[in-house]
Copies of this chain bind each other. A is one copy, B any other.
Amino acid sequence: MPQHVVIIGAVALGPKAACRFKRLEPDSTVTMIDQEKMISYGGCGIPYFLSGDVSDPAQLRATSFNMLRDEKFFDKAKYVRVMTGAKAVSIDRKHQSVLVRNLETQEEETLHYDKLVIATGSIPNLLSVPGSDLPGIFTVSNMEDAIHIREQVAGGKVGNAVVIGAGAIGLEVAEALADLWGIETSVVEIRDQVLPGIVSPIMARMAQHHMEENGISFHLSEQVQEITGRDRVTGVRTDRRSIDADLVIMAAGVKPNSALAASAGLEISPRGTIVVNEKMQTSDPLIYAGGDCVEVQNLVTGRPAYYPLGSMANRQGRVIGTNLAGGDARFEGAVGSFIIKLFDISVASAGLSIASAEQEGFQAASGFMAQLDHAHFYPEKDIMYLELVVDKKSGRVLGIQGLGNRTEGMMARVSAVATTLKYRPTVADISNMEVPYSPPFSSAMDVLNALGNTMENILAGKNRVMDADQFAEWWENREDGKTFFLDCRGWGNAEPFVKKFPDHWKSIPQDELLDRIHEVPGDKRIVLICNTGVRSYEAQILLDHVGIRDTYNLQGGMAAVKKWGLDLL
């Protein structure tokens, strides 16, 4: 029997649910309402609109075949009625109706529903500090803000900008402002790393270093205390400094917009999300919800997690569309696959970082691998950095993250692992993981397999590793005489270091180590160094064999140290 569906929210999930439902039940009707005038846009594209990569805001609202997704489009091509500038004031679950207010005329109207979809999305977090209401402060949560920001930067009115928050959106916006518009851009982050909660401190520092090389300034572990200015913003004051700013972007994350659902008496989680089951049904089976206003199961931990991502909204929207039509589609959860382009690099992750794994109660360990992305003899190639997070006891893989150039090579490796995480793979599964091989794309022993192998050796206690940050600390204190820095590479690689640091840098190529073992002191901790950590691992095994065991294999080698931001030469 034909039914009438009302959908509140018309950005990502709403339109997807509406269109899927109408394709399954052409006889039924759909009314989709949104308080904004611009609907159905690719919000994830806003940083690229700010940068100028996307020239016209209409592109973010177009289909892939260049039709503007406006009210008329939904009417004529999708047979869906859309009301814009229309706010859902309240839901009357008993009478199955929504009270809707026209924001222009203030007229109210009651829409009956057989089924209802709540797609109210999220609200950007705003800092409540003095000056936070000054003109010149923006979020990047909707098209109108985006258009305002771009007008200002394109008008040449912005010399310097501060981005508050070093999460994904903050970094993308910082790149956009600095790269095309040449704006002096600073990022202030309250936590001690960029991309907190997403990647490890090492990866984060590598990403930060790359952005610094491209002109972005970072102020980590700093708290914004005031936004200064009289008629409009002129600066940001943190607990450590004052920064001039003609423009301030608040990118301090989002929170679920669940007030409407809450006031209708639907079950809300402690985090403030609308509680849904795998069918994306709320506590009222006639009402569905999805996207940025719900949380779903984290398939690694089995616990609820919040993923405010456009890709989630789209996939959940389709599940809802199917179920509205009486289907039995499920959204079982997610592992939080993530990727970002930052200037010339990509950073990606899936599952848990070691910090989040420990927070979740795992006894976690991590391993780090640096290796060429393609066959080493193939002319086009780049070093890729991967980190694996595992449960120590079971060897179960909990997460992966990586940093590489801006091709899709990083996406390939993280996708390969991400899609298997729900099946609880072990380290051996990574060692034998079957990514397609051909020299222009990968290695016969791909970096991903090498990561698994390294992790196995670490868990077995055979590969005892140290990270670039520990290396930096010991190197800084090298005059204390406690550390012996042993370069296991060929003389050609080691020579410039030995010449510059004759008292601190020792060269013994790995293939000469057995013959020159007497040159290795037995009374110091020994840092084993090569380009990427492979020959230094061989050296560690040899030293173990002769009874020298206070050794540390610099994982990722000098490649990682340099990428991390320490250039000794």
Interface residues of A (CB under 8 A from B): 12, 16, 23-24, 26-27, 42, 44-45, 48, 53-54, 59-60, 62-67, 73, 76-79, 168, 309-311, 313-315, 318-319, 329-332, 334-335, 337-341, 346, 348-350, 371-372, 375-379, 406-409, 411-420, 423, 428, 431-442, 444-446, 449, 453, 462, 489-490, 493, 510-512, 514, 530-532, 534-535, 538, 541-542, 545
**Do A541 and B23 contact each other (CB < 8 Å), given the known contacts A376-B64, A423-B423, A434-B419?**
yes
- With both beta carbons as reference points, the residue of chain B lying nearest to A330 in the complex is identified as B428
Q: Is the CB of B511 within 8 A of A73?
A: yes
Q: Is the CB of A538 within 8 A of B23?
A: yes
Q: Which residues of B contact A435 (CB under 8 A)?
A: 337, 411, 415, 418-419
Name the contact of A315 in the complex, choosing from B315, B335, B431, B538 (C-beta under 8 A). Answer: B431
Q: Is the CB of B418 within 8 A of A335?
A: no
- With both beta carbons as reference points, the residue of chain B lying nearest to A309 in the complex is identified as B437
Q: Which residues of B contact A329 (CB under 8 A)?
A: 428
Which residue of A378, A441, A453, A493 has the most chain B CB atoms within 10 A of its CB atom?
A441
Query: How far does the alpha carbon of A335 sit from the alpha carbon of B512 in the complex, in Å?
Result: 41
Name the contact of A408 in the complex, choosing from B48, B428, B441 (C-beta under 8 A). Answer: B441
Query: Would you give the shortest CB distance from A82 to chain B, in whole angstroms?
Result: 14
Query: Would you give the shortest CB distance from A444 to chain B, in whole angstroms?
Result: 4
**Do A444 and B313 contact each other (CB < 8 Å), given the known contacts A332-B432, A337-B435, A432-B331?**
yes
Q: Which residues of B contact A444 (CB under 8 A)?
A: 12, 42, 44, 310-311, 313-314
Query: Would you give the shortest CB distance from A454 to chain B, in whole angstroms?
Result: 12
Q: How many copies does the complex hold?
A: 2
Q: Is the CB of A541 within 8 A of B26?
A: yes
Query: How far does the alpha carbon of A63 sit from the alpha carbon of B432 in the complex, in Å?
Result: 21
Q: Is the CB of A437 within 8 A of B378?
A: no
Q: Which residues of B contact A338 (CB under 8 A)?
A: 436, 438
Q: Which residues of B contact A341 (CB under 8 A)?
A: 438, 440-441
Query: How far does the alpha carbon of A372 sit from the alpha carbon of B65 in the complex, in Å?
Result: 11
19 contacts between A and B (CB under 8 A): A26-B542, A42-B444, A44-B438, A64-B376, A64-B534, A65-B531, A311-B442, A314-B444, A315-B431, A315-B449, A319-B432, A329-B428, A337-B434, A339-B436, A411-B436, A416-B416, A416-B419, A417-B419, A420-B423
Query: How far does the alpha carbon of A61 sit from the alpha carbon of B415 in the complex, in Å?
Result: 31
Q: Which residues of B contact A511 (CB under 8 A)?
A: 67, 73, 76-77
**Do A418 and B442 contact each other (CB < 8 Å), given the known contacts A54-B377, A376-B64, A412-B412?**
no
Q: Is the CB of B445 within 8 A of A315?
A: yes
Q: Is the CB of B372 within 8 A of A446?
A: no
Name the contact of A65 in the complex, choosing from B340, B438, B535 (C-beta under 8 A). Answer: B535
Q: Which residues of B contact A418 (CB under 8 A)?
A: 416, 434-436
Q: Is the CB of A64 within 8 A of B371?
A: yes
Q: Is the CB of B538 within 8 A of A77?
A: yes
Q: Which residues of B contact A379 (CB under 8 A)?
A: 53-54
Q: Which residues of B contact A493 (CB under 8 A)?
A: 65
Q: Is the CB of B433 within 8 A of A419?
A: yes
Q: Which residues of B contact A349 (CB under 8 A)?
A: 436
Query: Would you give the shortest CB distance from A342 to chain B, in whole angstroms?
Result: 10
Q: Which residues of B contact A412 (CB under 8 A)?
A: 408, 411-412, 415
Query: How far does the alpha carbon of A76 sit from the alpha carbon of B513 in the complex, in Å?
Result: 9
A-B pairs with lowest CB-CB distance, top 3: A339-B436, A311-B437, A64-B376
Query: Would you give the shortest CB distance from A323 to chain B, in whole angstroms?
Result: 13
Query: How far does the alpha carbon of A530 sit from the alpha carbon of B66 in the complex, in Å?
Result: 13
Having A64-B372, A78-B538, A407-B408, one finds 12 other A-B pairs with CB under 8 Å, namely A48-B439, A65-B534, A318-B431, A318-B453, A331-B432, A337-B435, A411-B435, A412-B412, A413-B415, A415-B416, A416-B419, A419-B420
Query: How far does the alpha carbon of A318 sit from the alpha carbon of B318 in the complex, in Å?
Result: 44
Q: Which residues of B contact A462 (CB under 8 A)?
A: 23-24
Query: Would you give the shortest CB distance from A398 to chain B, in whole angstroms?
Result: 15
Query: Would you give the shortest CB distance from A419 to chain B, in whole angstroms?
Result: 5
Query: How far does the alpha carbon of A255 sit from the alpha carbon of B235 in the complex, in Å?
Result: 72
Query: How far does the alpha carbon of A413 sit from the alpha carbon of B435 in the complex, in Å?
Result: 10
Name the contact of A409 in the complex, choosing from B12, B332, B408, B541 (C-beta under 8 A). Answer: B408
**Do A436 and B415 contact each other (CB < 8 Å), given the known contacts A23-B541, A346-B441, A535-B65?**
yes
Q: Which residues of B contact A542 (CB under 8 A)?
A: 26
Q: Which residues of B contact A411 (CB under 8 A)?
A: 408-409, 412, 435-436, 441-442
**Do A439 and B45 contact each other (CB < 8 Å), given the known contacts A331-B432, A407-B407, A431-B315?**
yes
Q: Is the CB of A439 within 8 A of B44?
A: yes
Query: Would you give the shortest CB distance from A133 to chain B, in whole angstroms?
Result: 31
Q: Is the CB of A436 within 8 A of B63?
A: no
Query: How far does the alpha carbon of A408 sit from the alpha carbon of B81 in the complex, in Å?
Result: 40
- With both beta carbons as reference points, the residue of chain B lying nearest to A509 in the complex is identified as B77
Q: Which residues of B contact A453 (CB under 8 A)?
A: 318
Q: Which residues of B contact A27 (CB under 8 A)?
A: 545
Name the contact of A437 in the complex, choosing from B60, B62, B79, B339 (C-beta under 8 A). Answer: B339
Query: How far does the alpha carbon of A64 sit from the alpha carbon of B310 in the complex, in Å?
Result: 40
Name the contact of A377 in the complex, choosing from B60, B330, B432, B512 (C-beta under 8 A). Answer: B60
